Amino acid sequence: MTAALSVGLDIGATKTLGLVLDADGGILAEVREPTKPGADGIVGSAARVFDALRDATGQSLAGTVGVGIPGLVDVERGSVKHAVNLGVDGDWLPLRDLLAARLGVPVVLENDVNAATLGAAALSGADDLVYLSIGTGLAAGLVLDGRLRRGEHGAAGEIGHVPVDPQGNVCQCGQRGCLETIASGSALAAAWPSGNVPPAQALFEAARSGDPSAVVVRDRFTRGVASAIRVLSLAVDPASIVLGGGVAQLGEPLRDAVAQALLEQAASSPFLASLDLAGRLSVVPSDYPVAAVGAAFLGR
């Protein structure tokens, strides 16, 4: 029976979320713990989550554990670097082997956006999709013809660093006017400071209630997201486009606003209109742990 269960961990800057999937992909148990930074902190947080999952299911959970983590991931070596918010800098950290030694089970390591992309594919049943993660940054994952596309340097889908505005702000990557400086959670936080409320939520509520400056900021943001989708779609023409990441907690109002921006971009182009990008768009259900689900599928 245990063999039918699979475990996925999504290691984020603030929390580590772990879950157990049953044979049908249903979530049997879900646990979250604060993530402590640095190698020892990350491994310790993951171990606490794994122990709690064993307790919750009463199973030994001896199968391979899939792990998603931000940063540049060398899947073959099981190493990660540039996970800056986790205290992992420019040196490769052999996290797969550290975790396997601590948890006592085999581990596979994957970039968190790629893990979420696999989760979105499992959730939708689509085997050809682009997953656009709108979190602090902006990045996409690609499942093309049923296969995850990582790219020769792990840079496939780094759409946030496509420059679109020569007069725009300097991006943390060193270029100017990247999509990430317009269409990301950090761009929203800078453009619409909101105290304790998540900026995206505050902005969309203000825009809906008719605040003209909020409408301007929201529309610039949604046009940026639509531009990212247009670039991705013209590059790989996916069957399905899924919005995820922290900003996608907005749910259907985000999908509606981005769909509207796509329709406006297509209004003057019969070619673009014929592609029906708005019609391919969906959003991950609020609070669905898509990256941890994808990580669990990786371990199968």
Interface residues with Zn ion (CB under 5 A)? Answer: 161, 171, 173, 175, 178
In this structure, what DSSP letter does residue 160 have?
G
Based on CB atoms, which residue is closest to Zn ion, 70 or 299?
A: 70
Work out how close the CB of 289 gets to Zn ion at its nearest, in angstroms, rounded to a whole number: 28
Per-residue burial over 185-212, b if 16 or more Cβ lie within 10 Å, else e, is bebbbebbeeeeebbbebbbebbeeeee
Based on CB atoms, which residue is closest to Zn ion, 161 or 255?
A: 161
Work out how close the CB of 173 gets to Zn ion at its nearest, in angstroms, rounded to a whole number: 3
Specify the pairing of strand 15-21 against strand 6-11: antiparallel
Based on CB atoms, which residue is closest to Zn ion, 58 or 90?
A: 90
Work out how close the CB of 137 gets to Zn ion at its nearest, in angstroms, rounded to a whole number: 9
Work out how close the CB of 179 gets to Zn ion at its nearest, in angstroms, rounded to a whole number: 8
Residues paired with 16 in a beta bridge: 11, 33
Question: What sign does the dihedral 133-39-42-121 (CA atoms) show?
Answer: positive
Count of residues for the chain?
A: 300
Residue for token digits 């310790």?
44
Based on CB atoms, which residue is closest to Zn ion, 27 or 189?
A: 189
From the list 252, 256, 277, the residue with the least C-alpha distance to 265 is 277
Per DSSP, the three-state class of 282 is strand
Based on CB atoms, which residue is closest to Zn ion, 87 or 177?
A: 177
Work out how close the CB of 161 gets to Zn ion at its nearest, in angstroms, rounded to a whole number: 4
What is the signed CA dihedral for 89, 90, 93, 96, rounded to 10 degrees? 90
Based on CB atoms, which residue is closest to Zn ion, 65 or 138?
A: 138
Let me know: does 18 contact 52? Beta carbons within 8 Å. Answer: yes
What is the token pair recorded at 195? 């105290």
Based on CB atoms, which residue is closest to Zn ion, 96 or 161?
A: 161
Distance CA 41, CA 99 (A): 11
Let me know: does 110 contact 11? Beta carbons within 8 Å. Answer: no
Work out how close the CB of 178 gets to Zn ion at its nearest, in angstroms, rounded to a whole number: 3
Work out how close the CB of 146 gets to Zn ion at its nearest, in angstroms, rounded to a whole number: 30
